[in-house]
Amino acid sequence: MKILSDKTKQYLVLLIKILVVSTAFYYIYNQLSHDETLDFHILSEVIAKKENYPALIALMFLTFSNRFVEILKWQSLSSLIKPVSVGQATKQVLSALTLGIFTPNGIGEYAGKALYFEKKDAPRVIFLNMVCNGVQVIYAILFGLIGLTVLNQYHEIIPNRYLWITFGIITVVLTLLFSVRNFAIKGYSLQTIINLLKEIPKSKHRKNLFLASLRYASFTHQYVILYYLFGVDIPYFELLCAVSAIYLMASSLPNFQFLEFAVKGSIAMFIFSALDVSQWVVALVATLIWLLNIVLPISIGSYFVLTYRVKST
């Protein structure tokens, strides 16, 4: 019975693997086959121009950097549980990304990474992943609000009073959180989280903050390069503010990773319409960012999902 049970478990795991990977590629194919903005003729013209080579090389470097920095962040934090090599961290991050494609805001990534650790370490893995992603969220909010505020001085994207209301709400929420940090729900409070954060060495926090800033710079400049490649004539700082505002607004909405291009694309159209940027350029850039940052790593992550072996009990 034990052998039969193990065999059944193996076939079930294999079925789940194939289902996850097949569904992931179905969504990718479905999106690309119905995406009228992905004009390969226009792309080939951009790629063929020799003067674009430096920008294209920079774009490829930033694409690699965006995901590799995330891998280094996770390697650093997960080593608090057990030593993790860059190769192991790569498997964990890309597998988790693939498994998280069907869950809101990539929540499935938490479970994906936990698969590579002992069951007893699962709560620790989830907490460290929150720390890893949390810093990225803080940067998105901080630079996004700065970008939106600055951009609003050039073009009134939203009425200024709404910005001040937003700043007011954030101030009130932060004040309330820290004033009642000992208030517990099911044994957990803000003070509990603060204590857990203090247990992490300061060197790890500094490294996480530094790498998160590099990653934020990487993916925001992917947008900047692509917009310039497609002939958008907007001053660098203004364009960077617009990209930061788009990322802030997109990150604040619940979405699935396989629909990320649609969410960010629609928000980008809303913001760039005020900057007189062609709608097809905005849609094309959103699709290319999705291809580079989601489709490409998921294609690699799918291999790791298929080759993952369940730990024998």
Query: Mind listing the pLDDT tens digit for each residue in 149-171?
Result: 888 888 877 777 888 888 888 88
Higher model confidence: residue 37 or residue 52? 52
Which range is most confident: 16-25, 103-112, 256-265?
A: 103-112
If one compares 177 and 51, the residue with the highest pLDDT of the two is: 51
Provide the pLDDT confidence category of residue 50 given band limits of 50, 70 and 90.
confident
Lowest mean pLDDT among 74-88, 98-112, 249-263: 249-263
pLDDT average, residue stretch 197-219: 94
Confidence of residue 176 (pLDDT cuts 50, 70, 90): confident
Tell the residue number behind the tokens 């992943």, with chain if given.
129
Average pLDDT over residues 235-253: 85
- Label residue 95 by pLDDT band (50, 70, 90): confident
In SS3 terms, the chain reads as: CHHHHHHHHHHHHHHHHHHHHHHHHHHHHHHHHCCCCCCHHHHHHHHHCHHHHHHHHHHHHHHHHHHHHHHHHHHHHHCCCCCCCHHHHHHHHHHHHHHHHHCECCCHHHHHHHCCCCHHHHHHHHHHHHHHHHHHHHHHHHHHHHHHHHHHHHCCCCCHHHHHHHHHHHHHHHHHHHHCCCCCECCECHHHHHHHHHHCCHHHHHHHHHHHHHHHHHHHHHHHHHHHHCCCCCCHHHHHHHHHHHHHHHHCCCCEHHHHHHHHHHHHHHHHHHHCCCHHHHHHHHHHHHHHHHHHHHHHHHHHHHHCCCCCC
Higher pLDDT pick, 122 / 264:
122
Taking Cα atoms as reference points, which of 276, 284, 302, 310 lies closest to residue 19? Answer: 302
Q: Is the confidence at residue 207, as pLDDT, over 50?
A: yes
* pLDDT over 80 at 120, yes or no: yes
Phi, psi of 234, rounded to the nearest 5 degrees: -130, 135
Summarize the confidence of residues 228-257 as an average pLDDT: 82
| Predicted local confidence at residue 86, as pLDDT | 93
pLDDT at 16: 60
Q: Which residues pair with 188 in a beta bridge?
A: 185
The predicted model scores a pTM of 0.81
At a CB cut-off of 8 Å and minimum separation 6, what does 298 contact? 24, 28, 94, 97, 98, 101
pLDDT at 208 over 50: yes
How far is the C-alpha of 242 from the C-alpha of 224, rounded, in Å? 10
pLDDT at 9 (0 to 100): 55
Which of 19-28, 46-55, 228-237, 287-296 is predicted with the least confidence, judged by mean pLDDT?
19-28
Mean pLDDT of 71-79: 95
Model confidence at 105: pLDDT above 80: no
Local confidence band at 200 (pLDDT 50, 70, 90 cut-offs): very high
Q: Answer yes or no: is pLDDT of 37 > 60.
A: no
Provide, rounded to the nearest whole percent, the portion of the chain with pLDDT above 90: 28
pLDDT higher than 50, residue 258: yes
pLDDT surpassing 60 at residue 209: yes
Query: How large is the average pLDDT for residues 5-9?
Result: 55
**Mean pLDDT for all residues in the chain:** 80
